[in-house]
Amino acid sequence: MDEALAGATGQRKKDAVADAINRLLYNLVLRCAREDGVRRYFDLGVWTYRGMTTVERAFSADLVSVAEIAEHPKRIEKRRRRAPDGAGGVYEQEFELPVWFDPVAEGRTPMHAAFSAVVGPLRDWLGQHSASFPPVVINLTDGIYTDQNPAPVARDLTQMGTADGNVLLFNCHISTSADAAITFPDDAQAASFSGLKRELFDLSSPLPAAMARQAQAKGYQLGAGARGYVYNADLVTLIDFLDVGTRAVQDRMETS
């Protein structure tokens, strides 16, 4: 994760990932905010994995409500972004961004251990929310696993579920290469995949219809049975991937 991210003008992968997750959490908080405060529409968990077998949860508990996340950022940073000025031009606008995560990178990729750490908390959550939209597990990695094959644990995850469907597992490979990203492929596109590319595809769940529509609205061309998988992602694709993986759930919860 210390290498430069493809298409990010030298930005390191770990910095891009931390920034994307902080922005995602902030957008979730904003979408759940009402006059009386942030509604408890979601429970979220974030685990980091590195070294030989190190897996650590990022929050005070395995899964916490979006309302609690809103109350406990590490700090608030001032950022700048380009915004339209209403006259055909742009200007730089200052805004405040809560920061929950700082970038960290440390060697190996214990993906099996990371998936295993999620099984228990999800099983407990499912026991209390049997009628909810099924949980979505999003795995961000920049390389092949360095411990055991995670496929058996991934199958355990995706065999659990609610009355509304099974747990969804999406995978995003973050790239240093300038080659084009492979986004939301279907079985026909994956026929030529091999190695890590094929393994991550096989672990990934098909996109539900609502998420497929979100991806299509962003301009992605999807075949039948497209999966929640991106290989060789650059910064723009990473942000789109996170948005597609969470937006349909947000819309569902906000209208329920």
Pairwise CA distance, residues 178 & 234, whole Å: 8
Q: Could you tell me the CA-to-CA distances from 15 to 57, 174, 229 in Å, in that order?
A: 19, 12, 21
Q: In the numeric block, which tokens belong to residue 153?
A: 């644990």
Across 143-150, average pLDDT: 88
pLDDT greater at residue 10 or residue 98? 98
Which element (helix H / strand E) includes 255?
A: none
Q: Is 13-254 assigned to CATH 3.40.50?
A: yes
68-109 per-position pLDDT tens digit: 999 999 999 987 777 776 777 777 778 888 999 887 766 688
Beta carbons within 8 Å of 89's beta carbon, 6+ residues apart: none
pLDDT at 2: 56
Q: Which residues pair with 97 in a beta bridge?
A: 77
Nearest to 69 by CA among 49, 86, 46: 46
Taking the CA atoms of 26, 229, 126 and 58 in sequence, report the sign of the dihedral they define. Answer: negative
116-139 per-position pLDDT tens digit: 999 999 999 999 999 998 999 999
